[in-house]
Amino acid sequence: MRKGQFALAALTAILISGNGFAADMNKVLHVAFNAPETGFDPAKISDQYSSSIVENIFDPLITYDYLARPVKLIPNTTEAMPTISKDGKVYTFHLKHGIYFADDPAFGGKKRELVAEDYAYSIKRLLDPTINSPYSFLVNGRFVGGDELVAKAGKNTLDYNAPLEGIKTLDKYTLQLTLKETNFNMTYILSMPVFGAVAREVIEANAANTMAHPVGTGPYLLKEWKPGTKMVLEANPNYRKDVFNFAPSKDAIDAGIIKAMKGKTLPCIGRVEVSIIEEEQPTWLAFLEKQLDISGIPQPALQEALVIDPKDPTKATLNPKYAKMGIQHQRYKLQEVTYTYFNMDDSVVGGDSKEKLALRRAIAMAFPRSETIAAIRRGQAVPVNYMIPEGVGGHNPNFKGAAEYDPAKANALLDKFGYKKGADGWRVQPNGKPLSIEYATGSAAIDKQWNEYWQKAFDSLKIHVTWKVGKWNELDKEARQSKLQMWGLAWGADYPDGDNFMMLLYGKNAGDVNYANFKNAEYDKLFESSLKLPDGPERNKLYDQMNKIVVAQQPWIFGDTRVRNTLAQPYVKGFKIHPIVNTTWRYIDLQK
């Protein structure tokens, strides 16, 4: 290196150090996703894979304490938690000074400070009809004056310069949100990655492809992206001073985390490389060969990696062979529900008629859920019987909503409602037309295992089934366009409240998170009433009534809730699974 180059590098290091930058660029974390991402514009993504990247690039106003259990919200870019009016309608946030976006040509060579207007603009983008955000349901009808501004825009771009009472800045660093209705969950909602602040200059400069040009104030920036193959994050030199100072919870691992991480400036790791590995066996081999530093245990490897309690398969410990190697093992029952939905707008499986309900109910009764939990999940799951999972506000452990497995009764039900068998032995619709169901699926080995059980279910009913095979992101796009008949999904908690799950069948969310396109006036009325109530017995009664409607109408077939088994290499320090946050890369270190 020539003298002039060294001097420049030394000066850069001093400037970066003064901003609190401590990431070691020689430390590279290797992880993998099992499905491809869609992009990195917070307003345009909804899948977990893209969100996992977005949450490392963009900053929401508030976030979660890394170690606290049960989970706890804390300030992120704000000086304190928001001031909330007694009626739960007005939220006021005061931003910290001196937080800067990552450098970008759109800023004209200047350092660009984060201000309240950035959050106002970012929230308004979710309302913009031309963006058609998959998370628009979180803001539609929410803010005072918002509906009127959207109506005025029609199909055109929202007028971002128009005054909006519900989303306004009181000064450079103060944001005030005014809701039309009481909602005490708004702090949880605003902690989601979708509410990370973007800079208007960057969005407008890259309007043709905002998904590929994320610029935020978070700990990392996107250095490289090969769609569907690889993503590389590098520590953001402009990231503010952030020190690991969390208090330990009662979890046994917290003492070791505090010892390894307390007082360190975050992030410690300079580079995160994310690969897409859709097949499970290669993922497992990559971890064993230390090509991955953190990984879930793929289903086929569970019996090899774990010692599973035969009396209770949800209890398991790490195989001593791997424990002796220093491999870390963490288990956690996810705050999720898995389900298979019927497209209620579809002419074959949808609709409110008794015969269509009988068809949906029969299919639900024919699926051998206990077998898939034992064989595919290897016992690392529990049945879903309620729309809200355990650990989330509003869960009812005594509600039994899943259809009972009984192929004989399922066939009798189809006979009763006119689904007769033709000369070839296969059923036809009550109107005499052929009966065939198209089920959407991926192409990985694990998908084929699930399809075998679905084939068994449909064969037991004498119903033809065909497979619509595609990648997850492709199927998701078609699902939102109401082009799929049936598809199996998982929904993990964005925040630990029942509202986040009951909204999945709210009629106004059809085309967004309501993949089933379920529309029921009574359900919608109950849901809207529940939004005005805090977590408690009164709201839980409404949730029970809503679940009864779902059981009666069968837009979903309840699946299971998985127990996550995650492994980390011995040199990964500070690692702890978080129930809500997708990734914890900023909080860990590598000490090889």
Residue 371 phi/psi, 5-degree rounding, is -70, -40
Sorted by where each starts, the structural domains of the chain and their CATH numbers stand as 3-268+575-590 (3.40.190.10), 336-563 (3.10.105.10)
Report how far residue 153's alpha carbon sits from residue 168's, in angstroms, rounded to the nearest whole number. 18
For residue 119, the model assigns a pLDDT of: 98
B/e letters for 364-399, b = 16+ CB within 10 Å, e = fewer, are bbbbbbeebbeebbbbbbbebbbbbbebbbbbbeeb
CB 563 within 8 A of CB 297: no
Q: 1: how many CB neighbours lie within 10 A of its CB?
A: 8
Which residues of the chain fall below pLDDT 70? 1-20
For residue 472, the model assigns a pLDDT of: 87
Contacts of 5 (CB under 8 A, 6+ apart): none
Q: Which residue(s) pair with 265 in the sheet?
A: 243
- Work out the angle at residue 26's Cα, subtended by the Cα atoms of residues 24 and 30, and round it to the nearest 5 degrees: 105
For residue 315, the model assigns a pLDDT of: 86
For the chain, helix, strand, coil in percent to 5 are: 35, 20, 45
For residue 46, the model assigns a pLDDT of: 87
- Among all chains, which residue has been given the structure tokens 């800045």? 169
Q: Alpha carbon of 193 to those of 80, 103, 459: distances in Å?
A: 19, 21, 42
Helix (H) / strand (E) containing 62: strand 62-64
| Nearest partner of 335 among 38, 46, 19, 582, judged by Cα | 582
Query: Could you report the per-residue pLDDT of 195-233, keeping only the tens digit for each?
Result: 999 999 999 999 999 999 999 999 999 999 999 999 999
For residue 133, the model assigns a pLDDT of: 94
Residue 423, exposed/middle/buried by CB under 10 A (0-12, 13-18, 19+)?
exposed
Report how far residue 298's alpha carbon sits from residue 317's, in angstroms, rounded to the nearest whole number. 15
